[in-house]
Amino acid sequence: MKKISTVIKSKHLGGFALMPCRTDQGQCPECATKHGPEQPHNKQSLYYQYKFMAAHGKWPGWKDAMKHCTAAVKKIWTRELRKRGEKV
């Protein structure tokens, strides 16, 4: 049986604890979704939302999900998200 290495607990989540996500098939350890390292985290992933809340005490926005991206990637994602009515 594989030992679970990290359970995320936070004062922001009360008694809620988040188990680590799978990463054995290329899932991002931040958002539990497969994406290239240059792409934003999946803001709509419940795992990402709760992990972010535990760390920062607020729900993530698209700017948070894109924080690690280059300016060029941010520009493309911002344009496309706005076309779909998303606030960035």
Q: How far is CA 35 from CA 1, 21, 27, 41, in A?
A: 28, 14, 7, 8
Q: Does position 25 have pLDDT exceeding 60, yes or no?
A: yes
Q: What is the Cα–Cα distance from 32 to 23, expressed in whole angstroms?
A: 7
Cβ neighbours around 22 below 10 Å, total: 11
Mean pLDDT of all residues in 75-86: 97
**pTM score:** 0.82
Q: Does position 3 have pLDDT exceeding 70, yes or no?
A: no
